[in-house]
Chain A
Amino acid sequence: NAGVTQTPKFRILKIGQSMTLQCTQDMNHNYMYWYRQDPGMGLKLIYYSVGAGITDKGEVPNGYNVSRSTTEDFPLRLELAAPSQTSVYFCASSSGLEKLFFGSGTQLSVL
Chain B
Amino acid sequence: AQSVSQHNHHVILSEAASLELGCNYSYGGTVNLFWYVQYPGQHLQLLLKYFSGDPLVKGIKGFEAEFIKSKFSFNLRKPSVQWSDTAEYFCAVNRYGGSQGNLIFGKGTKLSVKP
Contacts and interface: CB of A to CB of B under 8 A. Distances in A.
Interface residues of B, number: 23
A97 B32 contact: yes
Interface residues of A, number: 27
A42 B110 CA distance: 11
Contact of B107 (A41, A58, A92, A102): A41
Interface in B54-113: 90, 94, 99-108
B36 to A, nearest CB: 8
Given A42-B107, A43-B105, A94 B90 contact: no
A56 interface: yes
Contact of B99 (A56, A90, A102): A56
Interface of A: 4, 31, 33, 35, 40-45, 48, 50, 56, 58-59, 90, 92, 94, 96-100, 102-105
Interface of B: 4, 6, 9, 32, 36, 42-46, 49, 90, 94, 99-108
